Amino acid sequence: MTTRSDTRKQLSTFEILWNWLFRLVVGFSALALGLGLLLVFSMNRPLVRQSDGYVARSAANGLVTLTGAFPDSAIDIRYCSSSVGLGGRLRAYRFSGPVDVLHKHAAHEFESHWDKVEFQTTSAAESPITADDIRHLQSAYGVDVPWMLPPTGAIGTVYAPADGCSSHQPLIFVDEGNETLYFVMTD
């Protein structure tokens, strides 16, 4: 026959097991929540790779161009790339060189694009890259790119996608007066 003290002992054991189960569930939930927050935080933090000042062609080749290389005559190269989890990617660079080489490189970049993008050119145009664009790139992608802003009044040729779509497609400005090419591509 079960006495009252045995029932208390059984309830006590049950309560102990329940308390441990409760603690385990709460602990695992807190751990899962913490890992989830860490994942969300780390996914939305920009992963930036950019040059620290001007770099040599040999140090920059294959990093950001669609063709995989800068022209042999390229000088004053600066570049950056950034990835923000599911928020997007940025690829930008600039370099100087002879104007005919800059135009060949711009056309070759479009030909090397994985979608084989058709492009159109606009001659004697102002730069499509504005100070507002630079501020947007800096805030959205966590990059420091004031060097991507052509000088005020720069005139040259704009290479842009023929379909007008800007996502995943390059925008190139060849500043003919200063002999500099500016490339930007975002998604």
Confidence of residue 22 (pLDDT cuts 50, 70, 90): confident
What is the spatial distance between Cα 42 and Cα 45, in angstroms, rounded to a whole number?
A: 5
Query: What is the percent of the chain where pLDDT is above 90?
Result: 51
Read off the pLDDT of residues 42-97 as tens digits, 9 standing for 90 and up. 666 778 888 888 888 877 777 789 998 999 999 999 999 998 877 688 999 999 99
Average pLDDT over residues 111-137: 92
pLDDT over 60 (residue 7): no
The chain-wide mean pLDDT, for the chain, equals 87
Is residue 81 a contact partner of residue 50, using CB atoms and an 8 Å limit?
Answer: yes
The letter for the amino acid at 180 is T
| Band of pLDDT at residue 183, cut at 50, 70 and 90 | very high
pLDDT at 92: 94
In degrees, to the nearest 5, what angle opens at C-alpha 115 toward C-alphas 113 and 120? 70
28 phi and psi, to 5 degrees? Answer: -65, -35
Neighbouring residues of 26: CB distance < 8 A, sequence distance ≥ 6 = none
Q: For the beta carbon of residue 25, count every other beta carbon within 10 angstroms.
A: 10
The ranges assigned to domains in the chain are 1-43, 47-186
Residue 17 CA, distance from chain mean position: 51
